[in-house]
A = this chain, B = another copy of it.
Amino acid sequence: MSPSDQTFGTFFLPGPTEVHLSVLQAMTRPMIAHRGKDFEALFARLQKGMQDVFRTTRPILISSSSATGLMEAAVRCAPPGPILAVVNGAFSERFAHIARSCERDTDVLDVPLGRAVDLDELRRRLVAKRYVAVTLVHSETSTGAQSDVHTATRLCRDAGALCLVDSVTGVCGTPLLFDEWDMDFALTGSQKALALPPGLALGVASAAYMKTAPAAKGRGLYFDLVEFESYAAKNQTPNTPALPLFYALDVQLARIAAETMERRWARHRAMAEQTWRWVDDVARRTGLPLRVLAPEGERSMTVSAVVLPAGVTGPAMAAAVRERGFVIGAGYDKLRETTFRVGHMGDHTPDRLALCLDACEEALVALAK
């Protein structure tokens, strides 16, 4: 184990997450031609590894962009017609914003911050108006709310709408069974539960969705899913790939395969429960009104947003924890002042998380004095 790997486990932002030194070092491999056989072999390995992550036999879309790029792809390649955006936080709001910025007729289903997608309301909205697609977020990184994308997909399917799922902090940290759940589209980013540096977005589109995509006008080139799939068939990317991140993904997929996806999901669940338990314990021990923002049953396995006592702000909390050697996040956007966020995902372990939570408690007690 390298010195850096020994100190791994101090950076608990809800993305980017800390990256193991062996994965970082993969990026120093020399350049190769991206239209040559070595690249094609690399691409084929990444397909195989990521298909296990997404639980699919469909081609994996690998975009040299942030996740926002594949969110835009999902919208641009959807058939003409109105889109319903379910908004329960900053990233689902971004999905709505992307749809509008692509000149799509966009309605919003608003859900209170901290809550999962309201499936009953979704059903009602899908009955009341015909939509071609619904956008929603699996795990809302801004609030720590996790939604039932399996049921949401079924509701959309029944109503004849595509269900476009941002699973940026879902995939690889909590089950998302693309084929078994009969999903239309799902995407993630490299810098979350996959524990890679930022720079890649990874997604899957169903065969049914891809049948409609070629008719979508004005798709452009960079986020054209038709291009992604046709190049993937020859183990290439349509555009010049961010090669170092492909190298890093290659090494990380071998590490993930060694752990197995089932154990990875279980580790994430254990760290999530550890965090919730810690919140309850601190509230009891200190008398401070600390609570997880999302109600039980609607909580993310990868990120927790915790409501702070009055008088302690998110940025102050993050700064005080940093002084104690750990990096966590302040609240995000509208929740910036009233919450803090811990990213318990990627390659983190319960042992290191416990140390981070100790630091959080110490910081909180000092700030609440």
Instruction: Give residues in A with beta carbon < 8 Å to B.
Output: 4, 11, 13, 15-19, 21, 24-25, 27-34, 64-69, 72, 76, 94, 97-98, 101-103, 189, 191, 197-199, 217-224, 239-245, 327, 329
- The answer to whether A222 and B16 touch (CB under 8 A), given A191-B31, A197-B244, A245-B242, is no
CB-based contact B31/A220 at 8 Å: no
CB-based contact A28/B27 at 8 Å: yes
Please list 17 pairs of residues, one from A and one from B, whose beta carbons are closer than 8 Å in the complex, sorted by A's number: A4-B30, A16-B243, A24-B30, A24-B244, A27-B28, A31-B197, A33-B329, A64-B198, A66-B242, A72-B220, A101-B218, A101-B220, A101-B224, A102-B218, A102-B220, A197-B242, A199-B243
CB-based contact B34/A18 at 8 Å: no
CB-based contact B27/A11 at 8 Å: no
Residues of B contacting A329 in the complex (Cβ-Cβ under 8 angstroms): 33
Give the Cβ gap from A245 to chain B, nearest Cβ, in Å: 7
CB-based contact B34/A198 at 8 Å: yes
- A329: nearest chain-B partner, CB-CB: B33
CB contact between A98 and one of B221, B241, B245 (< 8 Å): that residue: B221
CB-based contact A218/B218 at 8 Å: yes
CB-based contact A27/B30 at 8 Å: no
Residues of B contacting A64 in the complex (Cβ-Cβ under 8 angstroms): 64-66, 198-199, 242
This chain's copy number in the assembly: 2
Give the Cβ gap from A139 to chain B, nearest Cβ, in Å: 16
In the complex, A66 Cα to B27 Cα: how many Å? 17
- A31: nearest chain-B partner, CB-CB: B16
CB-based contact B327/A222 at 8 Å: no
In the complex, A223 Cα to B242 Cα: how many Å? 17
CB-based contact A189/B240 at 8 Å: yes
Residues of B contacting A4 in the complex (Cβ-Cβ under 8 angstroms): 30
Q: Beyond A27-B27, A27-B197, A27-B244: 15 further Cβ-contacts under 8 Å?
A: A11-B30, A13-B33, A15-B240, A16-B243, A24-B27, A24-B28, A27-B28, A33-B327, A33-B329, A72-B222, A101-B218, A103-B217, A198-B242, A220-B223, A222-B223
CB-based contact A98/B220 at 8 Å: yes
- A240: nearest chain-B partner, CB-CB: B66
- A238: nearest chain-B partner, CB-CB: B68
Give the Cβ gap from A112 to chain B, nearest Cβ, in Å: 25
Residues of B contacting A19 in the complex (Cβ-Cβ under 8 angstroms): 30-31
CB-based contact B242/A199 at 8 Å: yes
In the complex, A368 Cα to B148 Cα: how many Å? 66
- A73: nearest chain-B partner, CB-CB: B222
CB-based contact B34/A28 at 8 Å: no
CB contact between A243 and one of B98, B197, B223 (< 8 Å): that residue: B197
In the complex, A125 Cα to B162 Cα: how many Å? 45
Residues of B contacting A242 in the complex (Cβ-Cβ under 8 angstroms): 64, 66, 197-199, 242, 245
Give the Cβ gap from A247 to chain B, nearest Cβ, in Å: 9
7 smallest beta-carbon distances between A and B, as pairs:
A199-B242, A66-B240, A103-B218, A24-B28, A66-B239, A27-B27, A16-B31
Residues of B contacting A94 in the complex (Cβ-Cβ under 8 angstroms): 221
- The answer to whether A220 and B65 touch (CB under 8 A), given A28-B27, A189-B240, A198-B242, is no
